[in-house]
C-alpha cells in the first residue's frame, strides 16, 4: 500500500456556497457554517497548516457572512439553457 501524506490547506477543508445557495440557508445553517469554518481554520492553525488567514475567516470573525451584497453582483450567475 503506497500512501502519500501532504499538507492540508484551508481550501481543502472549506465549503464554498454560491450567492444563491447562501440565500437558501436559514439562520441556524448559517451559524453552523460559521462555527464549523472558524473551528476548521483554528484547528489547521494549531497544526501549523495555515500561513495566511483566508478572507472568508476575516468576514466570519466579524459576524458577516462569506458574501456581501457588493460581491454578489460580481458573481457569475448560472446559465440556464431553454430548449423549445
Instruction: Find the radius of gyration of the CA atoms of the chain.
Output: 16
DSSP class of 32: H
Instruction: Kindly indicate the confidence band of residue 82, based on its pLDDT and cuts at 50, 70 and 90.
Output: very low
Instruction: Kindly give, in sequence order, each residue whose CB lies less than 8 Å from that of residue 40, ignoring residues fewer than 6 positions away.
Output: 10, 13, 14
Assess contact for 24 and 5: CB atoms under 8 A: no
Residue 31's pLDDT is what? 92
Across 38-45, average pLDDT:
90
**Does any domain span residue 27?**
yes
Q: What percent of the chain has pLDDT over 90?
A: 23
Q: Which pTM does this prediction carry?
A: 0.70
Q: To the nearest whole number, what is the mean pLDDT of the chain? A: 77
Give the range of the structural domain holding residue 41, as residue numbers without chain letter: 10-72
Say if 43 falls within a structural domain.
yes
User: For residue 77, is it within any domain?
Assistant: no
Amino acid at each position: 500500500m503506497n500512501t502519500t501524506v501532504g499538507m492540508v490547506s484551508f481550501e481543502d477543508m472549506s465549503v464554498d456556497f454560491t450567492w444563491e445557495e447562501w440565500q437558501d440557508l436559514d439562520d441556524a445553517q448559517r451559524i453552523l457554517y460559521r462555527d464549523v469554518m472558524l473551528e476548521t481554520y483554528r484547528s489547521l492553525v494549531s497544526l501549523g497548516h495555515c500561513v495566511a488567514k483566508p478572507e472568508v475567516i476575516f468576514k466570519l470573525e466579524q459576524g458577516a457572512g462569506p458574501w456581501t451584497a457588493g460581491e454578489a453582483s460580481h458573481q457569475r450567475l448560472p446559465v440556464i439553457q431553454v430548449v423549445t
